[in-house]
Amino acid sequence: MKIKPNQKCREDAHLGKVFVGLSGGVDSAVSAALLKKEGYDVTGVFIKAWSPVGYPLAPRSFSGVGCGWREDRRSAMRVAAVLDIPFITLDLEKEYKKEVVDYMIAEYKAGRTPNPDVMCNKEIKFGTFLKFALDNGADYVATGHYARVFTSPQSRRGRGEARVRLLEGSDKNKDQSYFLWTLTQKQLKHILFPIGHLQKSEVRKLAEKFGLPQAARKDSQGLCFLGKVDMKEFLKEYAGTKKGNVLNEKSEKIGEHEGTILYTIGERHGFTITKKTDRESPLYVVSKNIEKNSIVVSSKHLGRSSQMLTREVKLKDTNLIGKILNKNLLCRIRYRQEKIKCKIKKNKVIFEKPQMGVSPGQSLVFYGGEICLGGGIIQ
């Protein structure tokens, strides 16, 4: 079914009370402005996440950095002031540390590569924040995600069960549906994505039109709590790493690395080769051994016929938003990857063509065209 981008944030929504997650950036600012323009009763909410700055175990090298949450909060407050809407600061530092940071560290220690953004959406933005909003009289929460929600006309007219669909954002370069696969029907009924039908360039223009100070503010990069701290530097301090051996496919030592948990399958940087190899082409991580603290590397050419190719995977923590049919089923195994054909057979996801760089701990997300059908975590 072809679905046209909604000009309103959601056609089936009544103009009720909305708590908008204001991050301080342009996307959430424009989301709040659009909702107020449509006639919603809007309240801006800044979610305070966890930061290593000031934390008891934070090393001196982290001093003065972090997510800059104070600056982000001031930026969010300016949005509320311009739009003349109430503003709330919701301190979820403890929840963020437990559900996102601790989860991420535990996954890396186990040799997997997690998606902390997925967990943040599940546990924080559409978990604790959504509950807080509903408990305080809100009908919806809204965020600046590039995704869309849609209720079919048949359902809106009362014919059959009302099911909300999660769609890709219209701007395919910004689409964030990959990180939203954990959403349930119960949650989607209370979620608005006001800019999901827009291009990023249009969002910038709207920010100028609404007189928002975020119009020229640069987008944030990476995880909020890391700020200017490199992920590998963070893991070295909080997960504990030590140097280990780099092996070739014959189990011969050819170099050293900084810690097995720092590498993901398919990575080609961050380790040192000290022994001359038979091939001059780049070397890629094809497997890891957490217990022995070693990684195996191979050239891309050799890897295509050996350990780097995966034909099928098993999933855990699966969540299905919509009905999945094997016919025309597509999936992604990493963010911004081109969707690939697959099918489900005996609790396994089988790719039409073998895939390179499949990493346990990452999300596999199902699609039917532009509709996100759910997903799971690769085992």
Cβ 76 vs Cβ 22: under 8 Å: yes
Of the candidates 361, 376, 364, the one whose C-alpha atom is nearest the C-alpha of residue 114 is 361
Cβ 278 vs Cβ 249: under 8 Å: no
SS3 state of residue 365: strand
- Decide if 120 is catalytic: yes
Both structure tokens of 31: 């989301």
Beta strand 41-48 with 17-21 is parallel
Instruction: Please write down the long-range contacts of 112-117, taking CB distance under 8 Å and 24 or more positions apart.
Output: 112/359, 112/360, 112/361, 113/264, 113/265, 113/359, 113/360, 113/361, 113/362, 114/361, 114/362, 115/179, 115/361, 115/362, 115/363, 116/223, 117/179, 117/223
Measured at the alpha carbon of residue 198, what is the angle toward residues 44 and 207, in degrees to the nearest 5?
50
Both structure tokens of 375: 């997903």
**Catalytic residue from among 67, 120, 331, 342:** 120
- Kindly give, in sequence order, each residue whose CB lies less than 8 Å from that of residue 126, ignoring residues fewer than 6 positions away: 141, 182, 183, 187, 191
- Name the helix (H) or strand (E) containing 346: none
The Cα–Cα gap between 179 and 181 comes to 6
**Catalytic residue from among 9, 224, 331, 342:** 224
The Cα–Cα gap between 364 and 242 comes to 30
- Decide if 224 is catalytic: yes
The Cα–Cα gap between 151 and 112 comes to 36
Q: Which residues are catalytic?
A: 120, 224
